[in-house]
Amino acid sequence: MILLATEDPTRTHSWIWPEGYEIYFGGAASIFVFALLFKLAGPTLKKGMSDRTARIQKQLDDAANAMSSAQAEAIRIREAKGDIGSERARLLAEADTQAQQLLVDGRARLEVEIVDLETKAVADNVAASGRIGDELRAEVARLSIAAVDHVVSGSLDAATHQELIENFIVRVGAGR
């Protein structure tokens, strides 16, 4: 049998376009799916987009508020920094004044202590010289007595010795 040119079912008439019935049913199915998506998913998508817009707007507002508060804080810090410089200068001036006052007070105290120490040293010198003089007189008297005893005991007899004792007693009695 001779085969007539029959159509091959695996091949289409155009390499770009499908068959007509495929376009018709595929188009109708696509329109149906798009209509269902528009009807059912549209409000959800619209709500999601508006929520997203609101969330983004809130983030923008929060960022603007944060930026304005950061700028206010920066201004406050700059003012505080200026205040820190003036406060530092004030504290340094106050410290210099206190240091000068401490030096003046210390010098005055030292001068008073020096005068007191000099007065005490003079008094100690006078007392020491008086004590030394007394000790020297006592030593001279002791040595004189020892020398007189030695000289007198060697040259005095008993009668002269008795007479000296009686004269001494009379002088002591008359001195009263």
pTM of model > 0.95: no
Q: Which residues of the chain have pLDDT under 70?
A: 1-9, 12, 152-156, 173, 175-176
Return the pLDDT at 1: 43
Return the pLDDT at 154: 66
Q: Give the integer Cα–Cα distance in Å for 60 and 67.
A: 10
Q: Using the Cα atoms of residue 49, residue 50, residue 56 and residue 60 in order, give the sign of their dihedral.
A: positive
> Could you read off the pLDDT of 65-92 as tens digits, one per residue?
999 999 999 888 888 777 777 888 889 9
129, amino acid identity:
S
Contacts of 19 (CB under 8 A, 6+ apart): 12, 13
Return the pLDDT at 111: 93
> Could you read off the pLDDT of 86-103 as tens digits, one per residue?
888 889 999 999 999 999
Q: Give the integer Cα–Cα distance in Å for 147 and 154.
A: 11
Q: Give the integer Cα–Cα distance in Å for 144 and 85.
A: 86
Give, in order, the Cα–Cα distances in Å from 84 to each of 72, 93, 156, 162.
18, 14, 103, 103
Return the pLDDT at 152: 65
Angle subtended at Cα 40 by Cα 48 and Cα 54, rounded to the nearest 5 degrees: 15
Long-range contact set of residues 14-20: C-beta below 8 Å, sequence gap at least 24? none
- Give the residue extent of every domain in the chain: 20-123
* Residue in this structure with the two tokens 């983030």, named with its chain if needed: 59
